[in-house]
Amino acid sequence: MLEITNLHVKAGGREILKGVDLRVKAGEVHSIMGPNGSGKSTLAQVLAGRETYEVTAGKVTYQGRSLLEMAPEERACEGLFMAFQYPVEIPGVGNTYFLKAALNAIRKARGLEELDAMDFLTLAKEKMTRLEVDDRLLTRSVNEGFSGGEKKRNEIFQMAVLEPTLAILDETDSGLDIDALRIVAAGVNSLRSPERAILVVTHYQRLLNYIVPDFVHVLVDGRIVKSGGKELALELEARGYAWVEAEARAAAPATA
Amino acid sequence: MTTSTNAIEALANREYQYGFVTEVEADTLPRGLNEDVIRMISAKKNEPSFMLEWRLKAYRYWAKMEQSEGEPKWANVTYPPIDYQNIIYYSAPKSKPKLNSLDEVDPEVLRTFEKLGIPLEEQKLLTGVAVDAVFDSVSVATTFKEKLAELGIIFCAFSEAVHNHPDLVQKYLGSVVPYTDNFFAALNAAVFSDGSFCYIPKGVRCPMELSTYFRINAADTGQFERTLIIADEGSTVSYLEGCTAPMRDTNQLHAAVVELIAHDDATIKYSTIQNWYPGDKEGKGGIYNFVTKRGKCLGRNSHISWTQVETGSAITWKYPSCLLQGDNSVGEFYSVALTNNYQQADTGTKMIHIGKNTRSTIVAKGISAGHGQNTYRGMVKILKGATGARNYTQCDSLLLGDKCGAHTFPYIEVKNATARMEHEASTTKIGEDQIFYCNQRGISKEDAVNLIVNGFCKKVFRELPMEFAVEAQKLLSVSLEGSVG
Ligand SMILES: Nc1ncnc2c1ncn2[C@@H]1O[C@H](COP(=O)(O)OP(=O)(O)OP(=O)(O)O)[C@@H](O)[C@H]1O
Ligand SMILES: [Mg+2]
C-alpha cells in the first residue's frame, strides 16, 4: 500500500530525514519509535503533504500512485489520514461543521453523494458513543480550548468518521489518561482490516499492548536503523535507544 | 504547483459578477455643482420649499468647507483629490416611474434587478422581505407597500415621503445627522435625490424584513441617497440594505446618510451588505464609499443594532454610530470589513453614552488580504450623566498574506466614574498550520480559507437575518478569491 524509498527531507535548511525506506502492506500495523527530534513527525507530515518540508530525494508510492505529487487534500481524499501530534485550533468553526465539511469533501472526491446534516449527525453520534467522546465537544469550535487529551480523542473521533485506508497516528497516546488510552486503542483496532494499514508513532510500549503492531521500526537521526516485531518495542522500553544508536553507528559506513 | 493552487488562480480571475452596465435612457443633469444644480434637483423632485431651503443651507455650508479645510483628512486612507465639479449629481432612468405600478418601470431596469437577484415582482420575492429598489438617483419600485400600510407602516421612497408625509420628514430630517456634521454629510444634504423612508407606528412589530437595494448604473455620477427610519414607541423593525455597481476604470463617489430614531422601547436592527465595485486587481476604479450612519436611541429602553458586512468599494469611510440618549438604551455594532487587492477601509463606530445605564457592544472583525489596508476606528464616550454605563469592545484583525495591513484606533473618553469598560483586541495571521489541518481532512485550500474566515466572522454573521447570513458568507468567499495561493 505504502512504499517509501530513500526519502530525504529538509526543513529550515537542515536535512532531517536522511534516506528512509519503509514498506507497509494492506492489513498491517507498523509502529515507529525513536528519540525526540529523530524525525518521526517529519515523516508523518511529509506523508500527509505538508509544504514546509522539502523533499530533496526519494520516492513514495501509495496505492500505486506517486504520493509526493498529490496535494494534501487529494491524499486525504484517497484515504490517507494523519492524527496530529499537535492538533490545530480553528476558532469559530464548529467541530461538527468542520468534520461534516471534511467528510463531504472526501465523499465528493470519490463520487459519492454528500451526507445531509441529519445523516451526518447519526453517523457522528454513533462514533462518539463508541469512542466515549463528550457531547459538548461537538458543538465547540475545532480544538479550541480542548484539553490535551480531548484534542487527541477528537483526532481519533475524526478518524473514525472519515474511515481512512492509511492512518498515521503521531503520538496520539501522549497526554491520554489510562482509560482514554484504552478507548482510543479500541477505536484504532476497530479500524483494523485487511484493506487498511496503520502507522503508529509512539514513545511508549504501553500503547502497543493495546494496538499490537506487526512491525516496529526505530528511527534515529533521520534513518530507520532497526526493524523488528512487537518484541522490539519491549526491548526498547527496557534498554532505551542508546544501544540501537550504537549498533547503527557501528554498522554505518565510515564516511563521516 | 499543486492542483489546488491552480484552481484558486482560476477563481481569482473570475470577475466581479455585478459589474455589468444597463443601457437605459437617462435624465441627467450636467456635471458640476452650484446653487442652480441644487434648485434643479429640488425642482425635478417637485419638492416643498422647506426641502429646497434646507438643501441650500447645506450647500452653502459645504461650499464654505470645500474652500477651507475640505474633506476630512484624519482617515487612514489615501486617494487623489476629488474634482467635485466633474461629477454628475443627478441621473434617473427616463420613463418616469409611477411608484405603485411596476408596469411603468423601464423593463431594462426591472431586468437589471432581476439579474442582481432582486426580482421586483412581489410574487417572486423572498417571502418576508419588502424591497425598495434605488437605481442611480431614484427609487424605482417599492414592494409590499399596501400590505405594510395595513399595519400603518410607511415604507417608501424618500422623495415620496417628502410629498406624502412632509410633517414626519420635516420633524426628523437632519435630527440625527445635521448637515453640519461633516463634509460628506453636508454634500449629501445638498444633493441627495432619493433613498428609503420608513416609519413604524407605536406598538407595531414589522412583520417582514424591510430592505433597500442600491444600484449605481450611470457613469460619472455620484450616488447620494438618504435613509430615514423612525421606530415609534414599542415598535420593532429589521432593515437591510444591499448595493452593487458596474465595473468602471474611474472612481465613483457614493456619499450616503442614514438616520435612525428609536423612541421608548423601540428596536431597530439595521444590516448592511456592502458590495460596491471594489476596483480591479491593480486598484483601478471602484467606489469611494463615504457614508455617515447614525442612530439615536431617543427613548428609554430603546435599542439600535448595526450589523455590517463590508466587502466592496475601493475606499470605505464609515462609522455607524449610536447616540444613547434614553436611559437603559442599548447600542450595538457588529462589523466585518474585508479588504483585498488594493482596497482600503477605515471603519468603526461611535457609541455616545448620554443616558443612565446605557449599554453598548462593539464587535469589529477586519480581514485584510492582498495589499488591502483595514483600519478600525472606534470611539466610546461616556458622558457625565451616564451613570452605570457599560461598554464591551472586541476588535479582531485577520491577515492573509504579508502585504496587507491592519490598524486599530480605539478612543475612549470616560466622564463618569461608574462606567464599566471592557476592551479586547487581537491580530492574527491565518495559519499555514490551520490550512494544512483542513487540507489533511480533505478540505481544499480555498474552502479552508473560507472556513477559517467564516469562523472568524461568526459572532457578526449570527447577527444577520437568516436569509442574508448565507449571502454574506458567499460574498466573503467570492471577495477572497485569489487571496491564497
Ligand atoms: N520546519 C522546521 N524547521 C526547522 N527544523 C525543523 C522543522 N521541523 C522539524 N524540525 C527539526 O527536525 C527535527 C525532527 O523533528 P520531528 O518533529 O520530526 O521529531 P520527532 O521525531 O517527531 O520528535 P518528538 O518525539 O519530540 O515528537 C527536530 O530537530 C526539529 O527541530
Ligand atoms: Mg513528533
Q: Which residue has the higher pLDDT, B31 or B177?
A: B177
Structural domain including A119 reads 2-255
- Which residues, in sequence order, are bridge partners of residue B194? B225
Cell numbers of B66, please?
Answer: 470645500
| Ligand (nearest to CA of A222) | 1
**Which band of pLDDT confidence, cut at 50, 70 and 90, is reported for residue B13?**
very low
Strand B315-318 to B344-353 pairing: parallel
A158 lines ligand 1 (CB under 6 A): no
Q: Which of B24-38, B201-215, B349-363 has the highest mean pLDDT?
A: B349-363
| Short-list A105, A130, A100, CA closest to A116 | A100
Average pLDDT on B424-444 reads 93
- Which residues, in sequence order, are bridge partners of residue B361? B332, B392
Cell numbers of B199, please?
Answer: 416609519
Residues of chain A with pLDDT > 90: what percent? 74
A51 lines ligand 1 (CB under 6 A): no
| pLDDT (0 to 100) of residue B6 | 37
Dihedral over alpha carbons B306, B307, B312, B317 (to 10 degrees):
30
Average pLDDT on B15-23 reads 72
Whether B414 shows a pLDDT value over 90: the answer reads yes
Task: For Cα atoms A148, A149, A153, give the angle at the middle one, nearest 5 degrees.
Answer: 125
Those residues whose C-beta lies under 8 Å from the C-beta of residue A192, and which sit 6 or more positions away, are: A27, A29, A198
**Which band of pLDDT confidence, cut at 50, 70 and 90, is reported for residue B126?**
low
Q: Does A109 touch chain B (CB under 8 A)?
A: yes
Q: Radius of gyration (Cα) for chain A, nearest Å?
A: 18
Number of folded domains that form chain B? 1
User: Testing the interface with A: which of B439, B446, B460 to mutate, by most A Cβ within 10 A?
Assistant: B439
Contact (CB, 8 A) for A80 and A50: no
Whether B53 shows a pLDDT value over 80: the answer reads yes
Assign residue A19 a region: left if phi > 0, alpha if psi is -120 to 50, beta otherwise? left
Q: What residues of chain B lie within 8 A of the CB of A101, using their CB?
A: 441, 443, 447, 451
Cell numbers of B244, please?
Answer: 452593487
| Ligand (nearest to CA of A42) | 1
Contact (CB, 8 A) for B300 and B326: yes
Average pLDDT on A222-230 reads 92
Per-residue pLDDT reduced to its tens digit, B71-123: 888 888 898 888 999 888 888 877 554 445 666 677 777 777 777 766 676 65
**Which band of pLDDT confidence, cut at 50, 70 and 90, is reported for residue B429?**
confident
Whether A121 shows a pLDDT value over 70: the answer reads yes
| pLDDT (0 to 100) of residue B11 | 37
Mutate to test the pocket of ligand 1, among A18, A38, A171, A218 (most ligand atoms within 8 A of CB): A38
Number of folded domains that form chain A? 1
Task: Decide if B454 and A81 are in contact by the 8 Å CB cutoff.
Answer: no
Contact (CB, 8 A) for B53 and B66: no
Distance of residue B304 Cα from the nearest chain A Cα, in angstroms: 25
Per-residue pLDDT reduced to its tens digit, A200-215: 999 888 888 899 999 9
Among partner residues B4, B431, B458, which is closest to A71 by beta-carbon distance?
B4
Distance A48 CA to ligand 2 centre (A): 14
The domain that holds A133 is classified in CATH as 3.40.50.300
Distance A222 CA to ligand 2 centre (A): 12
Contact (CB, 8 A) for B270 and B297: no
Structural domain including B347 reads 2-480
Q: ipTM score of the complex?
A: 0.95
- Which residues, in sequence order, are bridge partners of residue B324? B297, B353
Which residues are in the CB-under-5-Å shell of ion ligand 2?
A 40-41, 85
For atom 28 of ligand 1, the residue with the nearest CA is A37
The secondary structure of B449-481 as a DSSP string is: HHHHHHHHHHHHHTTS-HHHHHHHHHHHHHHHT
Contact (CB, 8 A) for B255 and B224: yes
Pick from A38-52, A158-172, B20-34: least confident: B20-34
Task: For Cα atoms A152, A62, A73, give the angle at the middle one, nearest 5 degrees.
Answer: 55
Please give the Cα distance from B159 to B227 (Å, whole number). Answer: 11
Helices (H), A135-197: 135-139, 148-162, 178-191
Whether B220 shows a pLDDT value over 60: the answer reads yes
B384 in any annotated domain: yes
* B:239-298 residues touching chain A, CB 8 A cutoff: none
Among partner residues B436, B452, B456, which is closest to A72 by beta-carbon distance?
B436
Q: Does A48 touch chain B (CB under 8 A)?
A: yes
For residue B114, what are the CA distances in angstroms to B20, B23, B183, B450, B485?
A: 13, 15, 35, 27, 34
